[in-house]
Amino acid sequence: MKDTLTCGKCASRKVIEMKGTTVSHSNIPYGAMKLSSAVKDYFVCLDCGNCEVYVRLTPKFLKWAEKQWEKSDRRGDDYV
């Protein structure tokens, strides 16, 4: 939906992007003290109301998130 701007449920192309803001209360707190927050962007289908949410992958967020991923034991699950 984000890349194609086509609804994943009804295949409509009437999809708008609603950018989140850094002051939004729906942001996701992260970091050691949870002082940073990840901004979410929304993609909304105007035909069926389907909504997809994406976290904005800023360099700062990715730096923190990659560390969490390295710590998690789910890493490597994708080889069989």
Mask for 7-46, x = binds Zn ion (CB under 5 A): x-xx-x--------------------------------x-
> Looking at 2-10, 20-28, 54-62, 63-71, which segment touches Zn ion (CB under 5 A)?
2-10
Query: Which residue lies nearer to Zn ion by CB, 31 or 49?
Result: 49
3-state helix, strand, coil in the chain (%, to 5): 15, 25, 60
Which residues, 6+ apart, have CB-to-CB distance to 64 below 8 Å? 30, 31, 36
List the structure tokens of 33: 């003290």
61 within 8 A of 40, measured Cβ to Cβ: no
For residues 18 and 57, which CB has a smaller minimum distance to Zn ion in the complex? 18
Nearer to Zn ion, 15 or 39 (CB): 15
